[in-house]
A and B are shown apart, each in its own frame.
Chain A
Amino acid sequence: MSQNILIDKVTKMYDDFKAVDNISLEIQPGEFFTLLGPSGCGKTTLLRMIAGFNDINEGEIYLGDQLINDVPAYKRNIGMVFQNYAIFPHLSVWENVAYGLKARKIPKPEIEERVKEAMETTKIEMHAQKQPSQLSGGQQQRVALARAIVIRPQLLLMDEPLSNLDAKLRIEMRTSIRNLQKELGITTVYVTHDQEEALAISDRIAVMNFGVIEQVGTPYELYTKPRTQFVAGFLGTNTFVEGEIRDGVAYMLNKYPVPAKVSKDYSGQVIIAARPEKSRFASLNDESCISGVIKSQTFLGDFINYEVLLENDQILQINEYLSDDTVVPRGEGTNVRIRFEGVNVFTPDGREALA
């Protein structure tokens, strides 16, 4: 029942502004696929094109082998969960969940059965007779989910469904959404601007920026091998320092060699991206390591995060893990040198990864 989606060179214009610019994607059956990007990058626009609420200016969208460009939204059989839940306030929880089934003229006993099943799956069976106004945010979220899955959609779409919940509930809900999705095996497109949420929940992620896709891949691929400076900056923390490639070796600030397998035949200016968890303090007399002064330190339990003012006046973050008790916090103003266990290297415009 789960379908694959093919998005082929799709564009959405608002007057002259391209909110979605020539995007192509293929999403596999049963996959949990996330659109991730900063505010205003076109995630919602693309999602609503799939749902049928935005018309498509150019390109084609296929659900299975059906071209759905001109299929009206109500005929697409796509479940959708909205950011504000969009629970029908004049209907009880039970009626909300049964709404889509009644529209499909399904016999009453079957409606009863399927509503019950959906409410059990989403753990809201005890709220069946309540009015939406009597529910908490998290409960409303589950009602929205139950209402979307009860129609057995070919595809489930979610637009920032957790952004109105508090931090703790967000983590709890994202796990249950993930489990539910795997249990039902339903192809899901999920929109969020929260990179941590995206990493935790997705099979694959498309990182978007300014209406285009920067990179598609598994969370691991995106985190370890970002293909553009934007992706590197958006997922996790990275400090971007100028550098140079000479004879296949990358040098930070043109002096300090860093471990990067430069794959391409490239020499010249580059941008080197260093993550705090891959940066280590080195011996002060190791002149091959970049030097700096500690500006501030934050104790975070399992590690200490330092901000180091580099010799070129840039701030670099570095994490020191408290894996054994010999680690002594370094005070502000301490001179340090830093080495890297791995870095990413990009062309000066940030559009291409060199290592």
Chain B
Amino acid sequence: MIFKKTKALKKTEGAKPDFWTVVLIVSLVFAVCFIGYPFLYLVRNSITDESGALTLAHYAKFFKKHYYMVCLTNTVKLALASTALATLVGLPLAYISTRFNTYGKSFTNILIIISLMSPPFIGAYSWILLLGNVGYITKFLADRGIEIGTIYGFRGLLLVFTLKLYPYVYLYTQGALQKVDSSLEEASESLGVHGWKRLCKITFPVILPTVLNSMLMVFMTSVADYGTPQMIGKGYKVLTVAIYEEFMTELTGDTSFASALAIMVTMCMLIILIIQKTSIASKSYIMSALRPPAERKLKGIKRFLVSLPLYIVGLLGTLPILAIIYTSFRRVNGTRFAEGFGLDSYKNVVYSMGRYIRNTFILSAVAIVLVIIVGMLAAYLIVRKRSKITGLLDVLYMFPYVIPGSVIGISLVVAFNKKPIILTGTFAIMIISYVIRKLPFTLRSSVGILYQIEPSIEEASVSLGVPPMKTFFKTTAPLMMPGLFSGALLSFIEIINELSSSMILYTGKTTTISVAIFNALFRDAYGTASALATILIAVTIICLIIFNKVSGGKSFVG
């Protein structure tokens, strides 16, 4: 055997290693360098003191100091409340829109999707525009003697998160409800269970796993979000904000405590994920409906009443966007608004911030191309070359799914801010953080798609004389692309709107639109911020239109 092996080695011509071996090594190196190593470094950082000795002091500090415990409870309280409210809004709306002939269904759907796709911190900012101390609505009501209290703090956060996140529940539930074969409900009716009882006994249990899944997503998103609480939270501190502030004050010296905080948040996310994987949410009773349930045809006032909630919530969700667009066209004088409308803010932006716009698009474009390439290649390894090593690769690449963006940012900074590899302040580190954050999504859909493609397609190509690498790019990749494209477009939207890791990683040279908006807001340059935000929203909507064309108006989730 051994003799044979050496003989075999000699005979493979030259020292040209197999394409997939090279890909495996490169993807492993990438994953270990930029996901494994930084995170382990963060862990190490959190359990050592300045002299490098092991200590749990940083974690002890967390549990001892009242301030951090308050942050923790604040985070959980906010996430729970947001999840509950988002579900209360999303679930009934989904039921109404699938089971009744509401007016203008595609219009309300688009409203809801648009409110989902604009980044939360912009939502926060625009609610400040509307309900802040000098907001449009606040002033309107104050002129009539009505006081509405402050938007800052818990109330504002809850408002923003609910309106921002209920679309997850809505879209997932809608998808699930459309896939419940009507025979199931008819069977229940024929057994004498109908009306509310049927809803509780048959319909809801069947869609429950999907609903729970969407609720967990809402929960995780609200725990991980940084921009919204930073902007509208004021005194109501949550963990992501604490991490950021701690990190920025520690930046010059020791980052141990910020690391410990970051690990704590990641643990929270991990726990939620484990709950999801082990609970009913991981099961799915959803079948492909042969006969989707029919819509109840209502008439007159009933139809109007049923449609009303969809319009109220949909418009409420898009109201912030309108407020921003409106603000962006107001005339400005310095940072103050003047009477009338004009393109002042846009001129400002183009004049002084063209670079940020360019940065954003170049970074996002490079990142999304890398995400697609790495995602496809890694998925290929995971599906077609299954082994312990590719299993490890899968776990490594999926890991960032549970890490909040700011934690990814911090881990990259602490790992690469000194020799031998200094990446801080470069475009590369921004791209790396975007790639590892969005990879989990593309990877999962690539894996799903690959399972649908017969391996014999590749073998046919190889047997026709095309080497494995070319075979991949001539057969497998083109077959995967259509399925990946729509998901990638959504990831692209998320990258151009990305804030939490950019805030940690950016420098003057690598500022992006989101970061510029954020900074403009802190300078009270509302006009500039609105113009930048409008640009982001416009691009987002254009991408959504393309998406709709490509996916043929199919569901946005699952």
Residues of A within 8 A of B (CB): 51-53, 58, 69-70, 72-80, 82-84, 86-90, 99-100, 103-104, 144, 147-148, 151, 157
Contact = CB atoms under 8 A, between A and B. Distances in A.
Given A80-B460, A88-B461, A99-B461, A74 B4 contact: no
B468 A74 contact: yes
A53 B478 CA distance: 22
Given A58-B4, A88-B475, A73 B463 contact: yes
Contacts of A78: 463
22 contacts: A51-B459, A70-B8, A74-B464, A74-B471, A76-B463, A77-B465, A82-B459, A84-B454, A84-B456, A86-B454, A86-B456, A86-B459, A89-B479, A90-B478, A99-B461, A99-B464, A100-B464, A103-B465, A103-B466, A147-B464, A151-B465, A157-B463
A88 B457 contact: yes
A144 B461 CA distance: 11
B462 interface: yes
Given A70-B8, A70-B12, A86 B457 contact: yes
B467 interface: yes
Contacts of A103: 464-466, 470
A70 B11 contact: yes
A89 B11 CA distance: 36
A80 B463 contact: yes
Interface of B: 1, 4, 8, 11-12, 454, 456-457, 459-468, 470-471, 475, 478-479
A177 to B, nearest CB: 17
Contacts of A89: 457, 479
Given A51-B459, A103-B465, 20 more contacts: A53-B462, A70-B11, A72-B467, A74-B462, A74-B465, A74-B467, A75-B465, A76-B463, A77-B465, A80-B460, A80-B463, A83-B456, A86-B457, A99-B464, A100-B465, A103-B470, A144-B460, A147-B464, A151-B464, A151-B465
Contacts of A73: 459, 462-463
Contacts of A100: 464-466
A83 B460 CA distance: 11
Nearest to A157: B463
Contacts of A148: 463-464
Nearest to A88: B475
A54 B284 CA distance: 37
Sorted nearest first, the 9 A-B pairs with minimum C-beta distance are A100-B464, A86-B460, A86-B456, A70-B11, A80-B463, A82-B456, A103-B466, A103-B465, A74-B462
Nearest to A77: B465
A79 B468 CA distance: 16
Nearest to B467: A74
Which of A70, A74, A78 neighbours the largest number of chain B CB atoms within 10 Å of its CB? A74
A76 B466 CA distance: 11
Contact of A104 (B12, B465, B475): B465
B460 A88 contact: yes
Nearest to B475: A88
A26 B86 CA distance: 71
A70 B11 CA distance: 7
B463 A79 contact: yes
Contacts, number: 74
Nearest to A69: B8
Contacts of A104: 465
Nearest to B453: A89
A186 to B, nearest CB: 14
Contacts of A75: 465
A87 B1 CA distance: 38
A78 B459 CA distance: 12
Contacts of B462: 52-53, 73-74
B106 to A, nearest CB: 29
Contact of B463 (A58, A69, A74, A84): A74
Contacts of B456: 82-84, 86
A52 to B, nearest CB: 8
Contacts of A147: 460, 464
A312 to B, nearest CB: 49
Which of A52, A69, A99 neighbours the largest number of chain B CB atoms within 10 Å of its CB? A99
Nearest to B479: A90
Contacts of A144: 460
Contacts of B463: 51-52, 73-74, 76, 78-80, 148, 157
Contacts of A151: 464-465
A223 B22 CA distance: 51
Which of A52, A70, A78, A83 neighbours the largest number of chain B CB atoms within 10 Å of its CB? A70
Which of A75, A80, A87, A103 neighbours the largest number of chain B CB atoms within 10 Å of its CB? A103
Contacts of B8: 69-70
Nearest to B465: A103
A52 B458 CA distance: 13
Contacts of A87: 460
A87 B471 CA distance: 14
A121 to B, nearest CB: 17
Nearest to A100: B464
Contacts of A84: 454, 456
B328 to A, nearest CB: 44
Nearest to B10: A70
Contacts of A52: 462-463
Which of A52, A75, A82, A148 neighbours the largest number of chain B CB atoms within 10 Å of its CB? A82
Nearest to A67: B11
A53 B464 contact: no
B462 to A, nearest CB: 5
A242 B78 CA distance: 82
A77 B8 CA distance: 20
A157 B468 CA distance: 20
Contacts of B475: 88, 90
Contacts of B4: 58
A66 B459 CA distance: 22
Contacts of B459: 51, 53, 73, 80, 82, 86
Which of B1, B457, B465 neighbours the largest number of chain A CB atoms within 10 Å of its CB? B465
A58 B3 CA distance: 11
Contacts of A53: 459, 462
Contact of A74 (B11, B454, B466, B478): B466
Contacts of A99: 461, 464, 466
Contacts of B468: 74
A148 B457 CA distance: 13
B177 to A, nearest CB: 31
Nearest to A80: B463
Nearest to A144: B460
A92 to B, nearest CB: 13
